[in-house]
Each structure stands twice: as structure tokens, then as C-alpha cells.
Amino acid sequence: GRPHPPSGAMAAQSKLLLPERSVRQLFSSIASLYLRNRTKISRTVYLALFAALVKRIHNAISEQKAASQHQVELRRRPGTSSLGGGGDKPRIKVGVNREFFRNLARLLKIVIPSWRSKELRLLVSHSVFLVLRTLLSLYVAELDGRLVSNLVRGKGKHFLLGLVWWMIVAVPATFTNSMLSYHQCKLALSYRKRLTDHIHEKYLKNMTFYAISALDDRVKNPDQLITVDVSRFSDSLAELYSNLAKPILDMVIYNYSLSKSVGGEGLFIMSLLVQLSANVMRALTPPFGKYVADEARLEGEFRFLHSRLIDYSEEIALYHGHEAEKDTLDKGYFTLIRHVNRILRRRLYHGFMEDFVIKYFWGALGLILCSIPVFFKVPGQITQTMGDRTESFVTNRRMLLSSSDAFGRLMFSYKEISELAGHTARVSSLLEVMDDLLAGRFEKKLVSSASTEENAAVLSGRGVVEESDSIEFTEVPIVSPNGDVLIRKLTFTVHPGDHLLIVGPNGCGKSSLFRILGGLWPVYGGRVKKPRFDEIFYIPQRPYLSRGTLRQQVIYPDGLREMRARNITDEDLYEILSIVEIASVVDRPGGWDAEEEWRDVLSIGLQQRIAMARLFYHRPKFAILDECTSSVTLDIERVMYETAKKLGTTLMTVSHRRSLWKYHRKILQFDGQGGYVFTALDWERRMKLEDEKEELDLHLRAVPELRKRMAELTSF
């Protein structure tokens, strides 16, 4: 017979089997205990995960409230309310952080203003189609499994019937996909309209469009922000909703169906591995939000260089500065392209890592998960045949692929969220700056030639502006755009009928005085009394001609409705043009309704006559005339001034023309050294003194020549 092992070997083998049996019994006991309490344990795990999620959301909300309170405290600190007093602020990091969610919440309130808004209805309709597409995808997955099962079992009739159902389901599926694309585009357009209207309301309110470029340095290119960045934000927000809502819904429904098929344990373990790898990917993801914001900023700067070249094309051409401007443009373009190439390099390795993890690592985990019902008996499921296992595997595989694709899109959406963060930061910065400007808070770097301490008290102060029937300045400082205090305390009064002549060298403060009267420039001290804005009219040397009809050039800024409300007809406008002798312009093709780029069609002289006709139309109480007759004849100038005075308009004229002196009663003369004289104007006496001064000046200029001639004569 067979030889028996020695007794020592049997003893050793029994000692090895005892621990193995103990381990098996232990695992068997644990498995039995788990199976008996499987429902309770699963519910406990799910409740713990839900509690952790709620805790995380609560912490995020608390941090967001703290950040908002901190921002409010920063805005209330002294030193940020005056021009140049804000100092250097720390630059906020652009990314998916509390600041991003705070800004996004503010913008969402703008684009979706109420529960009854059209945007919310579109969003609800969009969500319905998202749910419908997910349910259709789930049905297609089950149908796919039945098709393969019938194919394996050789049931041709059932297979063909499944194909018919496949084609029937294709009709609502394709319609749903088309409606999703339609809703996404409509949402983007609606968001852009709401946001653009909101920005235009602030941008064109209280001279914000002027203050944002003249009184503040934080926004360099508001035109790009309003046109390009708002559009990109709207598109990104509408696209992100689809790319977030659909994957989240798919993951919830598909994972629930998978948990019933393969068991919640395997799905839970796989989810942990996927979450761990996702955290690693997120940690290695570059800050694409900051990259997008920087790219938009560089694009704006490059665009600004080109617009600046167009604005100063004549001066640059006269200086032959094309080579210098080319170097500037090349430098701006090189900076932009270098940044774009940097983004491309970051996306290269990030895309490699992302594709490997999402497509292959997670795919391998999915195959293992789908094979569980084939190799192991899942609790709660009956024994399956080969066809049933094939159907189950194909269905689970289809649902897992859809769930993995949803999770992959969710991971890819983090990059889209980062890009949205960049657009959100840009648009929010524009809104915050406009809010500050409307509240009287400016931040501008000053390059004053005087010391900062000397001008600090003036620049940090604020004066009082009151409404009155006359113009009165009481100890008001006049400050230049770069921060120089030109006049520390200016005091004068202009009553109705006291026509004022303002003279002085360039840079003495005349323009700053007009900016204060027009409400463009802050009052840094003292008291200013002036009429309402609509009772003061300003005519510069080169008038502004709007894009529109000839009629609009005369009645600007009124429209046709306001003109009719004032009971003024085209015949009245024709009479006004006849006063300044340009009624013939109405005889051009199109007449009053002709639309041209009028600054290119009309000469400077005709433009100045149009501006004066505009003054006659509005009939203001006060008019500021800044060299507005420099290109017209003396006869037309006389008609302009005499007509304005007959209409009861008090004139405040800046001009070096001696022919205008006789139309004024008072004079405000700046010496360019911080001093001024305000007195009554005796134009006849001043004219004689000026003639005598010129005559003496000619004699004094001739003195050196006379002395030279005297020396020549005495040498003989």
C-alpha cells in the first residue's frame, strides 16, 4: 500500500491547518454577520457619507460668509475713498475658491433675477430634457443588453424586435439632444443680455464711463470686458450647467442601477479608488483659471496697443515712429504668445495624465466591477444562465461606461470651472469698480510733481456740491489729472447774465474747472453751487458728433421723442441752422434723416456751427464755450454770441480771441503759478491797454537792434 507519513510530519501539518481553519472560520463569521446586517451597515455608511457632505457644505458656506464680511471691512477702511489713497491692494488669486463662489453668486442673481424670469423657465426646461436624456440612455443600456442576450441565445425574432425598438427610441433621443443644444445657446444669449443690460445701466450712470478711465486705474480696457468677457462668461456658464448637471444625474442613476446589479460593496470600493485618483489629479491640475484671466488681460492690452496706434496715427506718422510702434506691438504680441504657449505646455502633460487615469485606469476598475456577478454570487440575486449573465454583463458594462463617461466629464469640467473662474473674476472686477465709482471711491496712481505729503490733505478731502441758480466756487481746490494742485482755493461767483471770460496759459486749471462744473471731477474741498446738469451746456473746440441722423446732431443728446415732447418741429430746427448759416446741409440726400459719419463729412468750422445750433436748441441757463469759434469767421462768431445772449444763456468762454471780449462782463485770469484774478471786465479799456502793451513790446524788441546800430555809428 501507500506509505504513511511519519507522525512528526502529520503533527506539523495539523498545526498549519488549525490556523488556516481558524482564519476561514473568522472570515466566514464576519461574512455571515455582514450579510445578516448588510442593509443596516449600508444605510449607516450612506448616512455617514451624507453627513460628511452636509458638513463640508456648511463649512464652505461659513467660509464664504467670513470672506464676504472681510471684503466689506476692507471697503470700509479709511484711505480708499479718495483719489490715489487706496494704496496697493493684494491681488486676489483667480481660482475655484471662496471668492469665485461669492462672485458667481452675485452674477447669478443678475442673470437669473427672479423665480418668474425667462431664464429660470429656460433652465427648468433644460433640466427636464437633461433628465429625459438620462432616462433614455438608461433604457438604451437595458435594450443593448437584451439585444446581445438574444443574439447569444439565437432568438432572431426577439433580436429583430429589439432592433425595431432601438430605432423607435432613436427619435426622442435625437430630438432631446437637439433641444439640449438649443436650450444651451438660448441660455447663453439670455445670460449675456441680462448681464450686458445690467452693466450698461451702471456704466452709463453718473458719468461712470468717464470716471472708469479718467479717475481710476483698476480697469484698463472696459470695452473688452463688456463685449468679449461678458460673452465668454455667458457661454461658459451655460455650457457648464450642461456639463455638470448631466454627469451628476447620470452618475446618481447609473450607480444606483449598478449597485442593484453588482452590489453596493464593489461600487463603494471602486468609488473610493476613483475618488483617491481624482484627488491626485486635482492636486496636479495647473491653475487654468488664472491662466485664462491672464490671457484675457494680455489680449486686452494687445488690443489696446492697436487702438492707441489708430487714435494717434497722425502724430506717429508725422514723427515717423512706425518702427518704435512696431517694437511696442511686437513686445505685446510676444508676451501674449509666450503665455499661450505656456498654457499649451501645461495642458499637454495634464491631458496625458487625465486621459490615462480616466480612460484606462478607471476602465480596468470597471471591468473588474462588471465581472463580479459572473464570478461571485451577489446577495439578493437568483442563479443566472449563460444568456442572463451575458445580458447582465453587457447592461452593466454599458451603464458603467456611461457612468465613467459622466465622471470623466465631471473631472474635465473642473478645468471648465477654472476657466469660468477666470471670466467670473474679470466681469466681477468690472462690477466692483463701477460700484466703487458710483459710491465716490477712486483708486488712481498719481504722478504729481509735488510731494505726496503736500497734496495728501487736498486729495483726501471732499467738498460740498449744492444746487443753485448761479455758479459759485468757495475755496475750491483745482487739481490736475495727474494730481498736481494747481490752485489751492478758488473763489468766484457767476450770476445769470454775468458773462465770464476765462483766460490763462495751458495747464493752469481751466479744464479741471470745467470738469468740476460738468460733474466729471470730484470736488476736493470747499463748496460748489451750480445749476442742474441739464442747465449747463458744454461746447468743446472739436464738438462730439454722434452716429445717427442729421437731426440727431442738432438735438443731441435728446432723441426724436424728447424733441416732439418740447413741441419742436423740423422747421424750427431749420430756422436754428439758418441762424448759423448752414441750412443748406439739410438739402443733402436724405435731408434730416441722412445718416453719415458726420465728423468725416463736415469740416471743423461746420462742426462748430452744428454745436452752436445744438446750444440754441437746448437753451440752457449757462454755457461753457471752450475755443468753440476757433474755426469760424468773425461774422459767424458775432451771430453766435449775440443769439446766445438773446436766448438768455449766460456764457463762460475760454478763448484767446480778443474779438470775444466785448461779449463778457467779468474775467477770471489764471497766471499758471497757482494765482488768479477775478474781476469785472472793461473790455474797451482792456483792449486799449493790450494794444499799448503790444506796441511797447515791439519797441522793446527793437532796442537791441537800435543799440547795435548806435554802436556802429559811434565807431566811425
356, 463: one domain: no
- For residue 178, tell me if it sits in a domain: yes
Rounded to whole angstroms, the Cα distance separating 261 from 141 reads 13
What pLDDT sits at residue 182? 92
What pLDDT sits at residue 317? 79
3-state SS, 131-164, equals: HHHHHHHHHHHHHHHHHHHHHHHCCHHHHHHHHH
61, 88: one domain: no
353, 500: one domain: no
- 314 lies in which domain range? 82-438
Residue that terminates a domain, selected from 76, 102, 117:
76
Rounded to whole angstroms, the Cα distance separating 645 from 659 reads 16
Rounded to whole angstroms, the Cα distance separating 563 from 544 reads 19
Q: Count of CB atoms within 10 A of residue 655's CB? A: 20
- For residue 700, tell me if it sits in a domain: no
30, 140: one domain: no
69, 96: one domain: no
CATH number where 623 lies: 3.40.50.300
334, 479: one domain: no
R_g of the chain computed on alpha carbons: 40
- For residue 676, tell me if it sits in a domain: yes
Query: What parts of the chain have a pLDDT lower than 50?
Result: 1, 16, 77-90
- For residue 699, tell me if it sits in a domain: no
Helix %, strand %, coil % of the chain (to 5): 70, 10, 25
- For residue 517, tell me if it sits in a domain: yes
419, 494: one domain: no
Model-level pTM? 0.65
68, 116: one domain: no
Residue that terminates a domain, selected from 44, 76, 108:
76
- For residue 582, tell me if it sits in a domain: yes
Strand 595-596 and strand 548-549: the pairing is antiparallel
CATH number where 304 lies: 1.20.1560.10
Residue 674: phi and psi, rounded to 5, are 100, 0
What pLDDT sits at residue 253? 75
| 291-302 pLDDT per residue, tens | 888 888 888 888
Interacting residues of 390 by C-beta distance below 8 A, sequence separation 6+: 148, 149, 152
- For residue 229, tell me if it sits in a domain: yes
518, 431: one domain: no
Residue that terminates a domain, selected from 438, 472, 500:
438
Are 613 and 582 a contacting pair, CB within 8 Å? yes
- For residue 335, tell me if it sits in a domain: yes
141, 185: one domain: yes
What pLDDT sits at residue 619? 92
285, 358: one domain: yes
Which grid cell sits at 107?
Answer: 452674477
420, 461: one domain: no
Chain centroid to CA 221: 10
**Total structural domains in the chain?**
3
What pLDDT sits at residue 80? 40
